[in-house]
Amino acid sequence: MIEFKNEPFSNFADPATKAKMAEAVALVKNELSQDYPLVINGERVFTEQKITSVNPGNLDQVVGTVGKADRTLAAKALHAALEMFESWKRFTPAARAGYLFKAAAVMRRRKFELAAWLCFEAGKNWAEADADVAEAIDFMEFYGREAIRLGGNQPVTVLPGEDNRLTYIPLGVGVVIAPWNFPLAILAGMTTAAVVAGNTVVLKPASAAPVIAFKFMEIMEAAGIPAGVINYLPGSGSEVGDFLVTHPKTRFISFTGSKDVGLRINELAARHQPGQIWLKRVVAEMGGKDAVVVDADASLEDAADGIAASAFGFQGQKCSAGSRAIVHKDVYDKVVELVVERVRKLQVGPAEENFPAGPVIDAAAQKKILEYIEIGKQEGKLEIGGLKAEGNGYYIQPTVFSGIAPEARLAQEEIFGPVLAMIKAESFEHALEIFNNTEYGLTGSLYSSNREKIERARSDMHCGNLYFNRKCTGALVGVHPFGGFNMSGTDSKAGGRDYLLLFSQAKSVSEKL
């Protein structure tokens, strides 16, 4: 097998690539507004109730409607997964990995089309959408290889007179609960990691992006994955989510989303239910209040590029988004000026037309972000933005506040939108203190040319993914295993060598010779 390599990003500056993407956007536009069923044990289930997925950048455009599961259907999906587990667990790791490699090949062929769906459904511009698809491909290529690596007997100390073996076996039925912000990559990564390790799953996509999740389901089916291994179950998080999490036959929950929902899942999963014969495992990757730190001796142009990209890529709707910039007082005014210069150039408009700044995901998000902007006006100085932006969608102007205190709400709470809080630090030490002073600990970045400070930051900036002299978003599978500390979650390190172990248990067998 060839070594894992990251899927290259598409270069839309190349006219031929740009033309292909434009063609895919036109093609997908013709496929909007269709109806998609649930998939339980390979069977299509159409429901009376529906979830409607609307283009957040064009509210007259329905991306598609999908079925909406109730508890009866959720129970049915769970039982299908339970039954299938008995045979799926006996497939060899190589056989299971084979389905992931095939699905990755299908995705590679349909890359532009899938990216176009992400433009319409999630409001991602072309480069963001392309990166989402590339990451989904990477997860499948990476986890397939990991399953094979972890598939055989693992090393143990030799004891003469005994045959000792340690192997990893799967856990059982998992519930995968995915977010809307990487509705292909994270959903595909969480799902395929669990199944390639030998588990079967009920997959609950986010209600804001269920159509791309159906496309993923179809691709897994096209790759030949047996019915019942993945059961596609869109539904309300609070209704079917709670039911699935508390079900006694659920063995693990793999969740990515907000802190509040993660905490709720963790608590519900910890309660023993009648008939439950295990402790449920919870993998929960949650929010962030990530920051870019700029020291006095940094390249200020580079730092401003990094701050703007980290804060405003995909409208700040990344768990890794650098929503704080913590800047040394000696260069603070200059960096604010350079950041504002860059933000002024971010034109807002429909993602499928490839505007650099698209819409935010829905009306609730838009409302919440505008409320934070009002709070920001009390807590600091509005440098640019601050209003809804034109257009028939959930548009918000990229917004920068300066003069934000480290303890301010804008500096502490996850906003999940295009709002940057710029904070002045008295010294490098003070900047590190500010950096660490939130309940989260997901990503961070330091711009500095000073080796000693970089080494100091390496140990003292407390976050799961730390970067020097580059932006704090854009983790690559295999290269930057991803996951955060503290309230950012369980630090599962998706796309790393520890990840599949979260969906496995080790069995030690000893035979006297």
- Between residues 383 and 414, which has the closer beta carbon with respect to ligand NAP? 414
Q: Is 397 in the site for Mg ion (CB under 5 A)?
A: no
Strand partners, 396: 388
Q: Is 489 in the site for ligand NAP (CB under 6 A)?
A: yes
Partner touching 472 among ligand NAP, Mg ion, none, CB below 5 to 8 Å by kind? none
Q: Is 414 in the site for ligand NAP (CB under 6 A)?
A: yes
Rule CB under 6 A: choose which of 112, 117, 126, 180 binds ligand NAP.
180
18, with CB counted inside 10 A (0-12, 13-18, 19+), is: middle
Rule CB under 5 A: choose which of 7, 21, 28, 53 binds Mg ion.
53
Q: Is 206 in the site for ligand NAP (CB under 6 A)?
A: yes
Binding mask 204-233 for Mg ion (x = CB under 5 A): ----x-------------------------
- Phi, psi dihedrals of residue 438, rounded to the nearest 5°: -135, 175
Choice among 319, 379, 463, 472 that is catalytic: 319
Q: How far apart are CA 36 and CA 64, in angstroms?
A: 7
- Which residues, 6+ apart, have CB-to-CB distance to 486 below 8 Å? 439, 440, 441, 462
119 is catalytic: no
Q: How far is the CB of 212 from ligand NAP (least distance, A)?
A: 13
Enumerate the H helices of 313-395 as residue ranges.
332-344, 363-379
* Residue 51 · residue 229 · CB < 8 Å: no
Nearest to 446 by CA among 402, 438, 435, 422: 435
Q: How far apart are CA 135 and CA 45, in angstroms?
A: 29
Choice among 285, 352, 383, 414 that is catalytic: 285
Tally of CB atoms within 10 A around 28: 21
- Between residues 228 and 417, which has the closer beta carbon with respect to Mg ion? 417
Q: Is 447 in the site for ligand NAP (CB under 6 A)?
A: no
Strand partners, 420: 400
285 is catalytic: yes
DSSP state of 406: T
Binding mask 305-344 for ligand NAP (x = CB under 6 A): --------------x-------------------------
* Residue 63 · residue 54 · CB < 8 Å: yes
Range 395-398, long-range pairs (CB < 8 A, 24+ positions): 395/57, 395/348, 395/349, 395/358, 395/359, 395/360, 396/315, 396/348, 396/359, 396/360, 396/366, 396/369, 396/370, 397/348, 398/311, 398/312, 398/315, 398/343, 398/346, 398/348, 398/357
Q: Is 362 in the site for ligand NAP (CB under 6 A)?
A: no
Partner touching 53 among ligand NAP, Mg ion, none, CB below 5 to 8 Å by kind? Mg ion
Rule CB under 6 A: choose which of 113, 285, 295, 352 binds ligand NAP.
285
Partner touching 207 among ligand NAP, Mg ion, none, CB below 5 to 8 Å by kind? ligand NAP
- Between residues 349 and 417, which has the closer beta carbon with respect to ligand NAP? 417
Q: Which residues bind ligand NAP (CB under 6 A)?
A: 177-182, 186, 204, 206-208, 236-238, 241-242, 245, 256-258, 261, 264-265, 285-288, 319, 414, 416, 442, 484, 488-489
Give the catalytic positions in this structure. Answer: 285, 319
Q: Which residues bind Mg ion (CB under 5 A)?
A: 53-54, 208
